[in-house]
């Protein structure tokens, strides 16, 4: 199975000036764990995850004053839609993260998460257990 089969094509994009509270509200409303941060001034692309927000709050930082730009990961590992789910899982395991932005030649086309991969693999494992 490929990343394109598992990824979510509904991408939440926010700007670098969104506060962490604004980002958290948007992520919570959509029941997702990451947002793509687009910085038009630098043509940059990054990711803000629930873990980034949690770390900030845990440090006692004010989510109404902290902006996405201060907590965005910009050294991002990207996946291609044609990657296998095993390649995506290996990249996540190697990098210690749970989300990959999926890029094609024109920009972000989706996000794949550990949850997406498990959702795809669980039925296959169940079917092989029943067949065995």
User: What are the E-state strand segments in the chain?
Assistant: 13-14, 34-39, 44-49, 78-79, 99-104, 107-113
pLDDT at 126 over 70: no
Q: Using one digit for the tens of pLDDT, what is the confidence trace for 11-40?
A: 999 999 999 999 999 999 999 999 999 987
Task: Please state the separation of Cα 49 from the chain's center in Å.
Answer: 7
Task: Please state the separation of Cα 112 from the chain's center in Å.
Answer: 6
pLDDT at 111 over 80: yes
How many angstroms separate the CA atoms of 118 and 10, rounded? 18
Provide the pLDDT confidence category of residue 62 given band limits of 50, 70 and 90: very high
Burial per residue of 16-36, b for 16 or more beta-carbon CB atoms within 10 angstroms, e otherwise: bebbbebbbeebeeeebbbbb
Quote the pTM value: 0.85
pLDDT at 117 over 90: yes
Mean pLDDT along residues 54-76: 95
The residues facing 130 across adjacent strands are none
Look-up of token digits 């999926």: 102
Q: Are 80 and 102 a contacting pair, CB within 8 Å?
A: yes
User: Secondary structure of 110-129 in the HEC alphabet?
Assistant: EEEEHHHHHHHHHHHHHHHH
Rounded mean pLDDT of the chain? Answer: 91
Mean pLDDT along residues 33-59: 92
Q: What is the pLDDT of residue 63?
A: 98
Q: What is the pLDDT of residue 74?
A: 87
Mean pLDDT along residues 65-93: 95
How many angstroms separate the CA atoms of 105 and 57, rounded? 36
pLDDT at 84 over 60: yes
pLDDT at 91 over 80: yes
């Amino acid at each position: 199975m490929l990343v394109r089969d598992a990824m979510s094509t509904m991408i939440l994009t926010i700007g670098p000036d969104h506060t962490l509270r604004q980002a958290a509200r948007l992520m919570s409303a959509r029941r997702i764990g990451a947002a793509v941060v687009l910085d038009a001034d630098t043509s940059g692309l990054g990711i803000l995850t629930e873990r980034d927000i949690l770390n900030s709050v845990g440090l006692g930082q004010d989510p109404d004053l902290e902006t996405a730009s201060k907590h965005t990961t910009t050294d991002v590992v990207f996946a291609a839609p044609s990657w296998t789910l095993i390649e995506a899982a290996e990249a996540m395991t190697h990098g210690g993260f749970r989300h990959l932005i999926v890029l094609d030649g024109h920009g972000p086309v989706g996000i794949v998460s550990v949850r997406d991969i498990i959702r795809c693999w669980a039925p296959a494992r169940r079917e092989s257990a029943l067949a065995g």
